[in-house]
Amino acid sequence: MRQENEKLKAQVTKQISEAKLESSDRAINYTTSTINNIFYIITAAASLLLLVGWRSLNDIKKSLKIDMSKKTENIIAQYERRLQQIENKMTERSKVIIETQQNITNTNSIHSLWMRAGLEKSEEDKITVYDEILSINPNDIEAMTYKADALLEIGEVRWALDLSNTAIELDKNYSQAYWQRACAYAKLEKQSEAIDDIKKAIELSDTLEDELLKESHFENLHNNITFKKLIANKKDKAIN
């Protein structure tokens, strides 16, 4: 009995030891598997985070490049517009300066020509000077009327009439143009037209009344009744 009990005890002890050993192996295997799985999860998570982070950095870099490029283009465009505005203003100012300088030069030249015209003796030479003035300023109605007067002196009545008409077209309130046209009409024996222009000239400048009897081109009008009335009105004004 004692020997059988000892054998039984030994078998039970062996089974218990084997059971404990098996349990320990299972625990060790479970722990090892768990640790490996956790390591794998951490590794995968770290890799994923690294990949996402790298992509995010690339996106940020690309976004920054795009933003900087757009801002740079906007700044360049703004400066180009400003430079264009400055260039346009400088061009306009340059044109104004050049035009002003040209006007000053023309004014000085015309002034010199008028002084020269006053010194010329012959009507032909005066006409040449007036032509020089008109070449500088084609719309100078004063030069036109003075040229018309000179043309009347040399018998170019039709030419003088045309110049007077041109001067009146340019300025309908220039009394001397009507006066010169009246002289041309008087020379052409168109007394009615001449009287109308004399009235218009006096209406625009009453000082011309003093020239009625002094104007040599009005000789053909001295017997005209209306012209005599103009002379009489002038004398009455002088008496009053």
Domain boundaries, the chain: 122-239
Residues 193 and 181: their CA atoms lie apart, in Å, by 9
Residues 159 and 148: their CA atoms lie apart, in Å, by 7
Residues 76 and 208: their CA atoms lie apart, in Å, by 68
Q: Supply the pLDDT for residue 174.
A: 94
Q: Supply the pLDDT for residue 35.
A: 65
Fold held by 122-239: 1.25.40
Q: Supply the pLDDT for residue 79.
A: 73
Which runs of consecutive H residues, i.e. helices, occur in the chain?
2-119, 123-136, 141-153, 157-170, 175-187, 191-204, 225-239
Q: Supply the pLDDT for residue 73.
A: 79
Q: Supply the pLDDT for residue 176.
A: 94
Residues 5 and 126: their CA atoms lie apart, in Å, by 166
What confidence tens digit (pLDDT) does each residue in 76-95 have?
Answer: 888 788 878 888 888 887 78
Q: Supply the pLDDT for residue 82.
A: 82
Positions in the chain short of pLDDT 70: 1-40, 42, 44-64, 67-68, 234-240
Q: Supply the pLDDT for residue 228.
A: 87
> Are the C-beta atoms of 202 and 209 separated by less than 8 Å?
yes
